[in-house]
Structure 1
């Protein structure tokens, strides 16, 4: 294949994955954007809404390792296409629910459908991009996790204003359906000669599951670096989840804004998170090209970015006023975006290509625990104290612990 053709396939594949990531995170935002309307309609408390907001994260978490093992052994075309179809069904079902229990289960189904995306998607990118150029591609892919929440509130609020929160979810499901069809029609895995991974490792995809449990999962769980990456990324995603799930409600309460105003304003800081994801990946690639090992560049960048995010998040507890709060939010989310990008790229650098999805699945299991705990603990603390300040202080402390793990927890120091 000619280099220009290969480059075009790289870019289109990356753009499709970014689109899928954006839609996944727009789907996640449907409950956050509509939560006050849903709480009023169904007479729910903050604590109950916190549990509902976490439902996706619990199912996402328990699905990670099985999906990671499958992603390392199945081609990206049918596996990701099927996952997007499941997301479409879950979102359409969410628009038809009649109570809190139904919300919980449709969100749990959505979490199961979203679980393979970043695992199989990263596996796809590892095949298409070499280690020296991988940071920018993975940074853009991970940036979809911030671009989706940035684009989501204005779009979702516009649909909700016209048709209500139920139709808002149904529209999201239909968009997922279109993307699933587009992915299945277009995408093909690279041939061994086209892949950026080593040819011998490409054929490892066909190894049996029993071998995977022993040789891959068992091996990775026995490594200190795996546990350090998992524990550190748990803190990164805890902060991300706090902002994604509770930012509209926090702005509505602390700044006395309407539901629509708070939803629109919550999109603004997420743009900085997207910029952080892009900047973090590009920074790692740039430093690597200057002779620093990619792993060392990733680890140092994530340490500094998480330290900044933790401190800025804790400062929000003092409720500094709208202008100052938005400035702190923008800076905190930029730093968190850098940490998300570099933390995820780090996972591709501490193992071989044939174990990438499995390692990322282990890492994302911890991350999903952080993502699930953030809305629950925030909801409980807000209910008991009548303020979001304790939740921001707790998040700052968790961010500092994550920073320490990234700084001191790795056995590999390349």
Structure 2
């Protein structure tokens, strides 16, 4: 079979498409929330428990990562994607908030596979200097999926009902599974990977991060300060994404007076900005590397830039104009993905290939634990204190995360990595 040039970018594109579907399905409830809460007579506090159930499920990411490391990326990710698609469709059967909460918990468990799968693919397919950009590309899927949710879900609700919205997004997941099974193969088995590109990928990867023969050890990972150096910043950072995906549409409806059509018109904009952040973070890191900064320090520098930009989120509730609030939410989306893709990618910079999915899953657990706590606080307190304190907290938490990243993570190289080969062209 004829080799396909720049095949690694085609593979990360397939992963990105899976991430689009993953985040589209998880964001469906957030957009439909004003309608669902009204029809099923669900209170804001009960909705907080529903979102918390999702976070409890997705906190089991280490299980997903371990499965992916043990049985392989292709088979494991197909199983998880099939599960999340069917569970999404089952949301249309819910008639009360406990049933909806149970389905959200199962959905969180299945969808927790996306981030470990993406990082495992990046570790296998890309040399060190390209991993940041590759991570940024597949993380665009998170933004695009969340961006597509408002217009698509609003269309389904206006055309049929909120139950149909879950059926439509779930069916899209099953279509992606078919594409994944047909086109994905690991580098060692892919028939269309050229020898030049295979050599380029291998030459650009750190020898000390090669796959170990033994299975990943959770205890060994937990003993490493580098793990805590990426897990704790994620704990502080991820509530931003949870707020944008699950609470922003409800905020626009209750605090800013938006109807469903206005939510469809504006609620996707922060995720467009987040798309740009996915590329901006790796670009900042690459800019620093080209000026002699080590890979790890370049990643930390990009995270810090995002944390400084995130301070704008503190003023969302302070501005009088609803459009100014949306602009600040967009800044928050941009800043979050700038720093998020950076710290997520560091699991492939600091751990072996056979550990990457497990590490990414474990770090994701901490991130989603942060979302869980934040969602419960919003659900329990927003009726009495409003949204303003929560936006202020989101504006400052990432500054603490940046401090932890600089303090805890040890740079194994101490200097910028040098490329061992000229990359193959990106043209096809």
Task: Tell me the TM-score normalized by structure 2.
Answer: 0.88
Aligned-residue offset at 1:304: 2.2
Q: How many residues get paired?
A: 402
Select between 192-201 and 141-150 the one with higher mean Cα deviation: 192-201
Displacement of 1:322: 2.0
Q: Deviations over 1:169-221 (max 9, x none)?
A: 011111111111110121111118836457997664x635xxx33xxx22221
What residue is the counterpart of 1:398 in the other structure? 397
Kept in 2, the 8 Å contact 1:247–1:266? The answer is yes
Q: How does 1:13-412 map to 2 (within 5 A)?
A: 13-61=11-59, 63-191=60-188, 194=198, 196=202, 204=212, 207-208=214-215, 212-213=216-217, 217-309=218-310, 311-385=311-385, 387-412=386-411
How far apart, in 2, do the equivalents of 1:283 and 1:203 lie? 29
CA distance in 2, matches of 1:188, 1:278: 26
Measure how far apart 1:132 and its partner are. 0.8
Larger proportion of helix: 1
* Counterpart Cα distance in 2 of 1:347 and 1:152: 29
* Partner deviation per Cα, 1:102-135 (whole Å, 9 max, x = no partner): 1111111111111122112211121111001111
CA distance in 2: counterparts of 1:236 and 1:307, whole angstroms? 12
Structure 1 range deviating more: 146-155 or 350-359: 350-359
Residue deviations 1:331-363, cap 9 Å, x none? Answer: 222111101111111222122323211221221
- Assess if the C-alpha contact under 8 Å between 2:249 and 2:263 holds in 1: yes
Query: How far off its partner does 1:31 sit?
Result: 0.8
> 1:6/1:188 Cα in 2 relative to 1: closer, same or farther (>3 Å)?
farther
Q: Is the 8 A contact 1:242 1:378 kept in 2?
A: no
Q: Does the Cα contact within 8 Å between 1:272 and 1:330 map onto a contact in 2?
A: yes
**Structure 1 residues 124-168: Cα deviation after superposition (integer angstroms, max 9, x where no partner):** 121111001111111011121112111211111111110111010
Contact 1:249 1:262 in 2 (8 A): no
RMSD: 2.1
Change (3 A) 1:127 1:272: same
Return 5+ residue gaps in structure 2 as ranges.
Answer: 190-194, 415-428
